[in-house]
Chain A
Amino acid sequence: MAHDTTHVHKSNTKRIWTVFIIMSVVTLVEVFLGIIKPEFLTDTYFISLKLLNWIFIILTIVKAYYIAWAFMHLEGETKGLRRAVVWTSTFLIIYLVFILLTEGDYVYEVMHRGNIAWDF
């Protein structure tokens, strides 16, 4: 095993607590926005998604970044491992989400045009 025990690991405790505080604040902001639902955010659309939902998704990705980079220690891994994990998943997930949501929206349109009765 390439793990050298004589090598001195310096403690990361400070960074861990900083990340915890950031993630807590982000979660609080999410819950707060989810409860008050400001009107200008729910009424504004960007790429057919409410601005509020964009904020939620972006904040979630911020949290995911901190979990993966700080807690799972991706920031300390080699570039090769990091990219093998992050690029692969990011590409496949975006691809899958794009296809399924497009298809879902299409099915919605079909059902909406009244060619199929689904509430009888």
Chain B
Amino acid sequence: METTVARTGTEGRTWGGGNEPLKVSYGKMMMWFFILSDALTFSGFLASYGFARYKFADSWPIADEVFNHFPFLHGVDAPMYYVALMTFILIFSSVTMVLAVDAGHQMKKGKVTFYMLLTIIGGIIFLGSQAWEWKNFITGTYGAIETRGGNVLQVVNSDGERVALDAFVTAAPKERLQHERTNGLWFVDEPTIPRYTIEDVITGFSANPNLHIRTQELTPTGEKVVLTRQASLAKLESDGIGIIEGANLQKNEYGNPLFGDFFFFITGFHGFHVLTGVFINIIIFFNVLIGTYERRGHYEMVEKVGLYWHFVDLVWVFVFTFFYLV
């Protein structure tokens, strides 16, 4: 670099140019400032999640009831185990990343390659896990009843355990077909018709005397309010308008629609960062492999992509706390 710059005769003086008061290269400094701005974006999302949560402080869904799945353990209540595992995977891939950077400082190409590969694998496992979480969230487990006011009612038995709609509802014969492009107007269609109507639910609910309705409201100790049998039936008949199974951006069976929106948006945005991180890691990995940095004489590129990767981990630590723990 220095050899191509014209000399001005003022080198070494404060305003003579060529000073590096922060003692980092241009690329690394810009990576830091990019991370700073990205951190502010994420904190904007998380702070607005906090806003929505404070606004609906007495009716927000309880996270460890929502995220209680674990692969191969069907129907077992495993609150947060899987998310904790995902956190470990990401922290560990951060460790392998920093080991790659460390090996790069010592110009050990083999070690850098190996640790970069581990980091990429960790990132891919994390992405797969997140896809699985999304799948569970979108499919739903129990189903819920939608009310006129846009809330959901959930069904529990007399022990307070959640009961799936399938366990007590049988669908009455349907008179209505789903409007598809093949059987109606060719240019419009409608979403899938819910499997049960509210009448089916009320019939099934009345026939099972041990069922109760659980509202979204939270008691001061942080549990959802369960109505008495009589109040349950009255609530169903006055407020119920249909069923919700799973989650989308308009409604979800877990409670407040904003809960689903924030879940999709924040974990989605984070997942997108992980995805780009994996792509950039792969590019750098191949550059390491073909010896680009060996020829360049330093592995600073590994360090820069490492900064980005650690940042993704840093964000996840906060998402984990505010989505799953608090």
Chain B nearest Cβ from A100, distance in angstroms: 4
Q: In the assembled complex, which residues on chain B have CB atoms less than 8 Å from the CB atom of A60?
A: 317-318, 320-321
A-B contacts, CB under 8 A, total: 164
Contact A72 B50 (CB under 8 A): no
Q: Take A1-B298, A13-B99 as given contacts and tell me if A81 and B311 are in contact as well, using a CB distance cutoff of 8 Å.
A: no
| Contact in complex: B55, A107 (CB < 8 Å) | yes
Taken together as a complex, chains A and B put the C-alpha atoms of A100 and B98 apart, in Å, by 35
In angstroms, Cα B149 to Cα A111, docked, is 14
1/0 per residue, CB under 8 A from A, across B280-312: the answer is 000000000000000001101000001100110
Q: Which of B70-104 contact A (CB under 8 A)?
A: 79-81, 84, 87-88, 91-92, 94-95, 97-99, 101-102
A10-33 CB contact bits vs B (8 Å, 1 = yes)? Answer: 011100110010011001101100
Contact of A30 among B47, B101, B321 (CB under 8 A): B321
**Of residues 72 to 120 in A, which have CB atoms within 8 Å of B's CB atoms?**
72-73, 77-78, 80-81, 84-85, 88-89, 92-93, 96-97, 100-101, 103-105, 107-108, 111-112, 118-120
Q: Which residue of B lies closest to A34 (CB)?
A: B325
Contact across chains for A120 and B64 when beta carbons are under 8 A apart: no
- Chain B contacts for A3, CB-based, 8 A: 25, 297-298, 300
Q: How far is the CA of A23 from the CA of B314 in the complex (A)?
A: 12
Which residues of B lie under 8 Å from residue A57 when comparing CB positions? 321, 326
B51 touches A71 (CB 8 A): no
Q: Are B92 and A20 in touch, CB under 8 angstroms? A: yes
Known contacts A84-B33, A93-B40, then 5 further A-B pairs from the complex at CB < 8 Å, ordered by chain A residue: A60-B320, A64-B314, A67-B313, A78-B23, A96-B44
Which residues of B are at the interface with A, using a C-beta cutoff of 8 A? 1, 20-25, 29, 32-33, 35-36, 39-40, 43-44, 47-48, 50-58, 64, 79-81, 84, 87-88, 91-92, 94-95, 97-99, 101-102, 105-107, 147-149, 151, 221-222, 297-298, 300, 306-307, 310-311, 313-314, 317-318, 320-321, 324-326
Q: Could you tell me which A residues sit within 8 Å of B by CB distance?
A: 1-3, 5, 9, 11-13, 16-17, 20, 23-24, 27-28, 30-31, 34-35, 42-43, 53, 56-57, 59-60, 63-64, 67-68, 70-73, 77-78, 80-81, 84-85, 88-89, 92-93, 96-97, 100-101, 103-105, 107-108, 111-112, 118-120
A-B contact pairs, 15 of them (CB 8 A): A2-B25, A3-B300, A11-B102, A24-B91, A53-B325, A56-B321, A71-B94, A80-B22, A84-B32, A89-B39, A89-B43, A101-B50, A104-B50, A105-B54, A118-B149
